[in-house]
Each structure stands twice: as C-alpha cells, then as structure tokens.
C-alpha cells in the first residue's frame, strides 16, 4: 500500500558520511531550542517552542552514512484543535544515498499524512527546515536568502482537483495548453523520469519526479535541454500544489534553483503566466487563449 506520509528529497555536494554527521548535529539546522543528545542509538532530545511546539525524539536506527530514524515518543502542538499529540508515534526517517560526487537525502516524516490537521502547516515547516536550513547547513551557507532564485505563481481555476490533475499529467491535454506542440513523457511515479520534447524530436526539458501525491502535489527535478546557457545552470526544482477552494482549485507553482540571478528562473517567470492562463482557459471554456507561446521560453538552439 502506498505511503502518503510527507516526503522530500534534497541533493548536496558532500559525502554521505559528512551528510550523516551534519544531520546528527540537530541544533545547527532544526532548532536552537534543542535539548538532549542525538548522535548514538537510544539517544533522546526535545524541541521546545513555548506555546507552540513540543516534541521528544528517540534515536531508533543508526546506520553511519546510510540511515537515521527518530521515533517521536511525546508531542504537543498547542495550535491544533483536535489532537495536540498528532506527532506522537510518528517517525522521522533520513535515507542517505550516494550519487556520484553528490549525496541525496530522502526525508520522510512517516505518519504525517495529508488527512491530519497539522499536515498543511507542518509540511510547509519541513520544507523550510529540510530544504533550506539543513541543505544550507550541509553546504556551509549562512545567508540563504541571497543564494536562491525563485518564481511563484498562483492561479484560481474553476474546476475540480481531479480534472486539474488529469490536465497536468495527460500528454494529450498538456500538448493543448502548453502550446507549440510540446510532448510530455512520464510514468508519474516518485523516481520516474520526466521529459518534454518538441514535435520535431528535439528535447526541451528533462528531469525526475521527486514527490507525487495525486491530486494534490507534484515536485519535479527539472533542467532545460534546449538552450545551452540555461542547461548550464543545472537542475531546478518545480513544485506544483493544488488545493480545493470552494468551487475553484488554487494552483500554486514554485520554481526555484539554488543559484542567485538565475537566467532560467528569469525565463520561466515570463513563460509560466501565459502557460497557466492557457491551462485555466482550456479547463473553464474548452479552448486555450494562445496556441503558440513556447517562444517566450525559447525553442532552443538549432
């Protein structure tokens, strides 16, 4: 059975052993409101933000350079209305995977599920803690705000989450609203390859599905393949989140890269508004607003 617990993946320029040691140094990246020990099996530590958050973690599994598992033995989230102990008996799992000169970390808060009251706020919190604080601590960065380029776009579409999901993942639908006859190839499973190409056979973009939760969330590791200067910047991260809002669905696109003044992000910041306007128009009226819009992103070098 599929596990829908919160999961996110980061990739860093460091060895698996160094990453393992950095994760164990909890106070340096999760919170300074930390007390206890977190480097040996059966160690326990607490995180306490008075009036908001208390949790006690026990180190249950420790494989140097490979895996860390914490069990939440006690918790109290003051801001919850129904069950302030939702974290209790959940697990925080760090799978550490060498990838050539890099290391990938897959973090899973096992038991933190979308149907839980704290999921929306806690998943946003983990995004910041893992994707910003931890990744920058491992990289030795302190001023994280200036090291990143990001574009965020929000649209409200009169449709259902299921219809929007279909439009985002069905190749025939994507070909209509993306414009320019772009073809998409993907199995839509975590870890599967993702690619877009032009109708003349040239590649446009490539990547990998990092996270997927139908019909709510997709995270894509994304690199441009059609322009040399954009491809040279490397992989970006595109997060697509859908949320029911009365009779509409809120669609939020966050496209980012750990690079200041990114030309790729500058390019997509012009393309995404037109592309999503096409998607919105297709779902609401049955027709796209613009048939040819890929020139805004660049058809690439011949």
Rg, Å, the chain Cα set: 21
Total count of residues recorded for the chain: 302
Backbone φ, ψ for residue 275 (5° rounding): -65, -45
Indicate the helix (H) or strand (E) that contains 282: helix 263-285
Q: Mutual orientation of helices 161-169 and 171-178 as an angle, nearest 10°? A: 80
Please report the pLDDT score of residue 199 as a whole number: 81
**Helix locations, 28-170, DSSP H:** 119-128, 135-139, 161-169
Residue 300: pLDDT band by 50, 70, 90 thresholds? very low
- 148-296, what's its fold? Alpha-D-Glucose-1,6-Bisphosphate; Chain A, domain 4 (3.30.530)
Please report the pLDDT score of residue 251 as a whole number: 94
Rounded CA separation 28/19 (Å): 13
Please report the pLDDT score of residue 298 as a whole number: 45
Residue 211 near residue 190, CB atoms below 8 Å = yes
Residue 178: pLDDT band by 50, 70, 90 thresholds? confident
Q: Which of 12, 46, 224, 289 is nearest to 135 (CA)?
A: 12
Pick one of 3.20.20.60, 3.30.450.40, 3.90.580.10, 3.30.530.20 as the CATH number of 6-144. 3.30.530.20
* CATH 3.30.530.20 residue spans of the chain: 6-144, 148-296
């Amino acid at each position: 059975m599929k596990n829908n617990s919160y999961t996110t993946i980061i990739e860093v320029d460091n060895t698996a052993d160094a990453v393992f040691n950095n994760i164990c140094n909890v106070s340096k990246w999760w919170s300074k409101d930390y007390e206890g020990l977190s480097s040996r099996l059966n160690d326990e530590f607490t995180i306490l933000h008075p009036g908001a958050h208390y949790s006690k973690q026990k180190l249950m599994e420790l494989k140097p350079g490979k895996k860390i598992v914490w069990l939440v033995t006690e918790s109290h989230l003051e801001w919850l209305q129904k069950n302030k102990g939702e974290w209790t008996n959940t697990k925080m799992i760090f799978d550490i995977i060498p990838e050539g000169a890099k290391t990938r970390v897959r973090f899973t808060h096992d038991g933190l599920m979308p149907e839980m009251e704290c999921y929306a706020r806690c998943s946003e919190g983990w995004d910041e803690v893992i994707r910003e604080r931890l990744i920058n601590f491992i990289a030795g960065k302190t001023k994280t705000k200036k090291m990143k380029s990001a574009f965020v776009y929000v649209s409200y579409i009169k449709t259902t989450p299921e219809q929007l999901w279909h439009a985002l993942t069905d190749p025939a639908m994507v070909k209509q609203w993306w414009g320019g006859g772009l073809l998409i190839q993907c199995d839509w499973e975590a870890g599967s390859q993702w690619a877009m190409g032009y109708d003349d056979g040239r590649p446009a973009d490539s990547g990998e599905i990092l996270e997927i939760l139908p019909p709510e969330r997709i995270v894509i590791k994304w690199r441009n393949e059609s322009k040399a200067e954009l491809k040279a910047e490397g992989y970006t991260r595109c997060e697509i989140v859908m949320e029911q809002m009365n009779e509409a669905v809120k669609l939020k696109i966050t496209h980012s890269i750990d690079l200041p003044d990114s030309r790729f992000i500058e390019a997509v910041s012009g393309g995404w508004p037109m592309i999503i306007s096409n998607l919105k128009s297709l779902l609401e009226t049955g027709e796209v607003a613009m048939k040819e819009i890929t020139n805004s992103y660049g058809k690439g070098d011949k």
